[in-house]
Chain A
Amino acid sequence: MSNRHLPKPRSQRALATATTGLVALSLAVGSAAAQDTVKIGAPLALTGGLADEGKKQALVYDMWEKKVNDAGGIEIGGKMYPVEIIEYDYQTDGPRAGQLAERLITEDEVNVLMAPFGSGHTKIAATVGQRYRIPTLACVASSESVYSQGNPYLFGTLSPNANMTAAMVEYLKENVDGLSKVAVYGRDDVFPKSMAAATAAAAEAGGLEVVYNELYPVGTMDHAAAISSIVAAEPDWVYATGYTQDLILIRRQLADLGVKAPVITMVTGPAYVEFTEGLGELANGVTSQTWWHHSVAYEGEGAWKTTKAFYDDFLAASGGEDPDYVHGSCAGALVVLEDALKRAGSLDGEAIRQALADTDITTFYGPINFGENGMNQARELPIIQVQDEAIEVLYPASIATAELELLSE
């Protein structure tokens, strides 16, 4: 059952008492009842720029909630607790995300927050959580700058970008003869920017020459100038990061302006089905990295014991669409929470935080072990490629479904 709460009574009263301000508003705040459910707060971008991503989160949240409650709930300190995920739409608006985090904690009295989609919005929500000593689980923030603020209440299931990029550089060096020059081009926004920086650093560390390394600001409509510069630099590998709409355009303009690089990597591009749909044949050959792919096979704790179990459930819930890493990571985060609650044995924020910090388990999503800064330390993240308009896994070898195909004339 979906549980998208609409705080009607409070707000209607607010309207009725516009002139006397907030007096009556406060009367609506009920006193805390003795708690017999685990409450999880989730500000989601259900409208606005990140709506598509927000809806993905909502989908797996609902799946998990149903799955756990059908099994009778979670056993905490010898008692079975049903779970309730309380979701609000923050409209892809930073200040709203903060406001909602505060409302979830103070009015809905949630025990844990699930961070919203964007890295920036994750920071805002986690900051509120930290004030109230409520743990925040982030399933779609991978930039280390989000975790570098010494917030002991923030945990993330994605592993640091650097883990990804170093593996990518190694893989390409092994599989592409004569790889020497790389061009890096990224959107000036938290996640793409840190991926671009990490890739440039990893490439240099790996002995590659970075021949182009630039960012484009939010609001860029066209990439011809940058791509002409990239063409002139004659790279063997073009690495671009940004939102799907940017990457579709960049891929197209790379082709239009005659880029000859044998490898084009786009992050997160191919990890989303919209990318391949938007580009058609042009998507073929584009490589990417992702934190999770449904062809991995892990066994572990929680609502879904195996990747297969999650995948099957997901297909049923989504009407046949494949899950991407957002789905995997967010479901994985809830599975970790499930485990941590059992170990914490209480609903106290501090106890849950400690249990999360001590986590060292394997889930359907993969191994999870939060490091010093709260980020998952997993390695061996999948490298994928679009072949024949479908996603193939190239790495790690244990789950590879295809060999790297080079883009060449």
Chain B
Amino acid sequence: MDFAQILANGVVLGALYACLAVGFSLVWGVLNVINMLHGSFIILGGYLTYFAWQMFGIHPLIMLPIVAAFLFVVGYALQAIFINKVVTAPVLVTLTLTFGLDMILYNLMTVYFSATPRQVTLGLGSIQLFGVYLPVVRLLGMALALLLTGLLYVTLRGSRIGRAIVAVRMDRSAAALMGIRVNRIYAITFGIGALMAGAAGALFAMVFPITTNLSGVFLGKAFVVCVIGGLGSVPGALVGGLALGIIESFSGVLLGPQHALTVGFLVMLLLLIVRPTGLVGVKGYE
């Protein structure tokens, strides 16, 4: 088996995983909320992209910012109306609430979009580099995933809002004393989490067949990526995503595809126990 090919598969997939998880990680890190809606947000982004392409011929790359903006609004509203009311409650409450909201969103999507798998087919083929096959769509996806993740990183570091988010993440009450409107920052953060999910969905519509049945799979990946990489930080999601992609790629070849998923989850459990802060995480969240 060609080592370079396996590694390339893992890295390309890993970048997509990072993009899938970064919004989830941000919400968990800043709000301390496990957002069970995340998988369905991605699916929603994917469906919107698909239908825009199929019905109006709009290219997914044009749809991406539109879908992302739309999901930001959805996320902001959900946080402001519902989740904010229990944001300081124990995990059992917040997790259950987002699960309940997810059931509603999931149901809406199955009724209006059905469970039929949908995919945007651009037919870009692949390129061959030193004997390694690199599908163009996936390369594009990877580039965009890295770009989006990078953008988020720069936003958090550079902008006023970003700095406020980081401040709230570090110390909620101190941030409040400094005059930051914590509730607004929470809603914006949740909105950004949804935005990243929507953008990931738009990307995924080009790479994977999208169906509501996949929302649980996406959510599961987000869990694993976050725990492996470490919570609440953009580099954490990136490292976690790449690590998971590479782990799955190698274990899929060496142990067989049947065990690839199990290995990913086992690595996650192990890290939870040995190093709950993740590979690049910082201490501080329980």
CB neighbours (8 Å) of B262 from chain A are 217
A104 to B24, CA, bound (A): 44
- In contact, A217 and B209 (Cβ under 8 angstroms): no
A212-226: CB near B (< 8 Å → 1, else 0) gives 001111011111111
- In contact, B114 and A220 (Cβ under 8 angstroms): no
B248 lies within 8 A of chain A by Cβ: yes
- In contact, B9 and A256 (Cβ under 8 angstroms): no
- In contact, B123 and A47 (Cβ under 8 angstroms): no
A229 lies within 8 A of chain B by Cβ: yes
Known: A228-B9, A248-B209. A256 touches B261 (CB 8 A): no
- In contact, A225 and B249 (Cβ under 8 angstroms): yes
- In contact, B261 and A217 (Cβ under 8 angstroms): yes
- Interface segment, one of B29-37, B64-72, B214-222, B234-242: B214-222
B285 lies within 8 A of chain A by Cβ: no
Specify which of B1, B114, B258, B260 is in contact with A228 (CB 8 Å cutoff): B1
Q: Looking across the interface, which residue of chain A has its beta carbon closest to that of B212?
A: A49
Most chain-B CB neighbours within 10 Å: which of A49, A224, A226, A231? A224
A222 to B214, CA, bound (A): 12
Specify which of A49, A220, A225, A282 is in contact with B6 (CB 8 Å cutoff): A225
- Contacting residues of chain A (254-281) with chain B, CB-CB under 8 angstroms: 255-258, 274, 278-281
A36-58: CB near B (< 8 Å → 1, else 0) gives 00000000000111111000000
- Contacting residues of chain B (71-124) with chain A, CB-CB under 8 angstroms: 110, 114-119, 121, 123
Specify which of B9, B125, B217 is in contact with A225 (CB 8 Å cutoff): B9
A324 lies within 8 A of chain B by Cβ: no
- In contact, B248 and A51 (Cβ under 8 angstroms): no
A257 to B12, CA, bound (A): 13
Q: Looking across the interface, which residue of chain A has its beta carbon closest to that of B254?
A: A225
Which DSSP category, helix, strand, loop or mixed, fits chain B's interface?
A: helix
Specify which of A51, A228, A278 is in contact with B117 (CB 8 Å cutoff): A278
A232 lies within 8 A of chain B by Cβ: yes
List the count of A-B residue pairs having beta carbons below 8 Å apart. 118
A245 lies within 8 A of chain B by Cβ: yes
A216 to B262, CA, bound (A): 11
- In contact, B115 and A224 (Cβ under 8 angstroms): no
B38 lies within 8 A of chain A by Cβ: no
- Contacting residues of chain B (120-135) with chain A, CB-CB under 8 angstroms: 121, 123, 125-126, 128, 133, 135
- In contact, A244 and B117 (Cβ under 8 angstroms): yes
A249 lies within 8 A of chain B by Cβ: yes
Which DSSP category, helix, strand, loop or mixed, fits chain A's interface?
A: helix
Specify which of B118, B135, B260 is in contact with A278 (CB 8 Å cutoff): B118
CB neighbours (8 Å) of B252 from chain A are 224-226, 229
A225 to B116, CA, bound (A): 25
CB neighbours (8 Å) of B260 from chain A are 216, 220, 225
CB neighbours (8 Å) of B213 from chain A are 49, 245
How many residues of B sit at the interface, in one of the four size bands?
35 or more
B241-264: CB near A (< 8 Å → 1, else 0) gives 000000011111100111011100
B189 lies within 8 A of chain A by Cβ: no
A387 lies within 8 A of chain B by Cβ: no
Known: A214-B256, A257-B135. A224 touches B13 (CB 8 A): yes
- Contacting residues of chain A (201-216) with chain B, CB-CB under 8 angstroms: 214-216
- In contact, A224 and B110 (Cβ under 8 angstroms): no
Specify which of A220, A258, A278 is in contact with B126 (CB 8 Å cutoff): A258
- Contacting residues of chain A (274-296) with chain B, CB-CB under 8 angstroms: 274, 278-282
B2 lies within 8 A of chain A by Cβ: yes
Q: Looking across the interface, which residue of chain B has its beta carbon closest to that of A258?
A: B133
A253 lies within 8 A of chain B by Cβ: yes
Q: Looking across the interface, which residue of chain B has its beta carbon closest to that of A55?
A: B114
Query: What are 18 A-B interface contacts by the 8 Å CB criterion?
Result: A49-B213, A188-B258, A220-B260, A221-B214, A221-B218, A224-B249, A225-B6, A225-B10, A225-B248, A226-B257, A228-B253, A245-B213, A248-B119, A255-B126, A256-B126, A256-B133, A258-B126, A280-B121
Q: A256-B133, A282-B123 are in contact. List 9 more A-B contacts (CB 8 A).
A: A50-B115, A216-B260, A222-B13, A229-B1, A231-B133, A244-B116, A245-B211, A278-B117, A278-B119
Nearest 3 pairs of A and B residues by beta carbon: A225-B252, A256-B135, A245-B117
